[in-house]
């Protein structure tokens, strides 16, 4: 990717889908220029938000030779991606581990907001990727903003990488659990992502049959609160789900509140709360997930959390398709990064028609990937699934090609 200086900048506008665009630019090696980032929408906070800056820092630390330029106000960004080196020694990694701090100002985003795109990149790294996320803004639980918990990433998104030939040495270790903090609080979680299965080219995916949901698993987590919250949430969730799938089992994880040390040596307690992450697995290994956590201000009984998680899972299953909404970005990007072959995946109409997926398709064609072919799956014309055919670009892992 050294010869990218000759390539013209791809131009994007707006703050939406910024993370996706950065990922695509990094994967394809195309330099991008994003302008008018929150230029007019809110005059008080124009430019990049702290989580986005943090994500840029993360990109900088796992790549080599990236150049990131901001404008003065932060409303324009030029990103020239380098090679994805991963956690290679000497490039920001100590002992093969990159420690990425998520500051307190990033606490409206869950850790999964960083982890999911990092996983997409990690498969194409030159060496293994080993990143520890920590800091006052590192939230392992689901957030009110809609980010899933790291448990869901582990149990519902990462298993999909197996379809692309990445299955070994992939781990997400929750070192310290944390919930989203109330105003003025902090999270203080710690998550480690280990992704040591790099591939030259992801395998071509053919997922056409969603199958039937045959089992439901889940993780109920309680951080700094009584474990009975877990039991209550599990009971409520099972009360809803057991009718549909008898093979429902939800594990419970009770953790202490995270402690962070102040400057003066005293310790302070991070945010507390509880939540429930559910994963439904179909007979053809398609996954559907749901994730609900207690709001930072509290006041919601555990039964409600459990019930809401169960209903959310049922909604996710109802949307259909082989890939659910939270994982669709990863799957589509990996498919288009695959070999020059037609991969197919059946998606639910609502999933495919969501803003993120439509924009992802557009952005993919902007960075040089082929467009998607759409057709109805099977006979059901009106509300059935849609089969999306994606032709891979055949570029794959540039770092692996050299090595």
Partner 1 sequence: MAPSLGKRKRTTRKELEKPSRSPSPSSSSSDAEDVQAIFQRAFEARFTPLDVSSKKPKTIHANIPDNSESESEPESDSDWSGLSSDNENGHEDEAPNTIQVISYANPSHPHIQTTKSELRAFMSSKPPSSSASHQPVPSATTSTSTSKQAAAATDPTETSHLKNDLALQRLLRDSHLLSRTSTSSSASASASASTTTSRSGTSTPTLTGALRHKSTDLALLSLGAKKSIHVQKNMPMALRKGLAAKAKQREEKRRADARDAGIVLEREVRVGKNGDGRGGSRSARGRDKGVGGPSVGRFQGGMLKLSRRDVADITGGGGGGGGSRGKGKGRRGR
Contacts with partner 1, residue ranges (CB under 8 A) = 154-155, 158-159, 161-162, 167, 170-174, 192, 194, 215, 217, 219, 235, 238-239, 242, 246-249, 251, 253, 281, 285, 287
Tell me how far, at minimum, the Cβ of 311 lies from partner 1, in Å.
17
Tell me how far, at minimum, the Cβ of 215 lies from partner 1, in Å.
7
Tell me how far, at minimum, the Cβ of 280 lies from partner 1, in Å.
12
Tell me how far, at minimum, the Cβ of 73 lies from partner 1, in Å.
41
Query: What is the distance between the alpha carbons of residues 354 and 17, in angstroms, rounded to a whole number?
Result: 13
Nearest CB to partner 1, comparing residues 77 and 132: 132
Query: What is the distance between the alpha carbons of residues 298 and 320, in angstroms, rounded to a whole number?
Result: 32
Is residue 50 within 8 Å of 106, Cβ to Cβ? yes
Nearest CB to partner 1, comparing residues 124 and 161: 161
Q: Could you tell me the end-to-end alpha-carbon distance of the chain, in angstroms, rounded to an integer? A: 13
- The dihedral through the CA atoms of 96, 101, 106, 107 has a sign that is positive
Is residue 222 within 8 Å of 255, Cβ to Cβ? yes
Nearest CB to partner 1, comparing residues 172 and 352: 172
Nearest CB to partner 1, comparing residues 122 and 367: 122
Tell me how far, at minimum, the Cβ of 345 lies from partner 1, in Å.
16
Contacts of 101 (CB under 8 A, 6+ apart): 133, 134, 135
Nearest CB to partner 1, comparing residues 124 and 195: 195
Tell me how far, at minimum, the Cβ of 4 lies from partner 1, in Å.
33
Residue 18 pairs in a beta bridge with none
Contacts of 202 (CB under 8 A, 6+ apart): 123, 164, 165, 166, 334, 335, 337, 338, 339, 392, 396
């Amino acid at each position: 990717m050294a010869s990218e200086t000759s390539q013209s900048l791809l131009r994007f506008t707006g703050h939406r889908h910024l993370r996706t665009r950065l990922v695509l630019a990094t994967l394809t090696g195309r330099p991008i220029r994003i302008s008018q980032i929150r230029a007019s929408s809110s005059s008080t906070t124009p430019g990049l938000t702290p989580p986005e800056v943090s994500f840029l820092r993360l990109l900088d630390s796992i790549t080599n030779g990236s150049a990131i330029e901001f404008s003065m106000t932060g409303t324009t960004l030029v990103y020239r991606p380098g090679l994805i080196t991963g956690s290679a020694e000497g490039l920001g990694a100590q002992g093969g581990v990159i420690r990425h701090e998520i500051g307190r100002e990033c606490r409206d985003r869950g850790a999964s907001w960083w982890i999911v795109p990092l996983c997409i990149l990690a498969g194409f790294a030159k060496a293994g990727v080993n990143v520890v996320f920590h800091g006052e803004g590192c939230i392992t639980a689901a957030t009110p903003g809609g980010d899933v918990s790291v448990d869901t990433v582990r149990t519902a998104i990462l298993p999909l990488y197996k379809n692309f030939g990445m299955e070994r040495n992939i781990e997400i270790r929750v070192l310290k659990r944390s919930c989203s903090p109330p105003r003025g609080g902090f999270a203080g979680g710690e998550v480690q992502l280990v992704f040591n299965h790099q591939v030259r080219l992801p395998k071509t995916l053919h997922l056409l049959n969603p199958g039937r949901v045959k089992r439901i698993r889940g993780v109920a987590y309680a951080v700094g609160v009584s474990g009975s919250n877990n039991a209550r949430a599990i009971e409520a969730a099972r009360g809803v789900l057991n009718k549909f799938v008898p093979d429902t089992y939800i594990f419970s994880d009770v953790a202490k509140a995270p402690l962070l040390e102040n400057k003066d040596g005293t310790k302070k307690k991070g945010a507390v709360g509880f939540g429930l992450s559910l994963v439904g697995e179909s007979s053809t290994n398609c996954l559907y997930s749901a994730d609900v956590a207690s709001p930072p201000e509290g006041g919601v009984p555990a039964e409600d959390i459990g019930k809401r998680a169960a209903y959310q899972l049922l909604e996710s299953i109802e949307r259909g398709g082989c890939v659910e909404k939270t994982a669709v970005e990863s799957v589509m990007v990996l498919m288009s990064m695959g070999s020059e072959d037609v991969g197919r995946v059946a998606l639910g109409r609502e999933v495919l028609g969501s803003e993120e997926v439509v924009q992802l398709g557009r952005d993919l064609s902007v960075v040089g990937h082929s467009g998607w072919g759409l057709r109805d799956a099977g006979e059901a014309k009106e509300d059935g699934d849609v089969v999306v055919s994606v032709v891979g670009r055949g570029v794959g892992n540039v770092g692996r090609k050299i090595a």
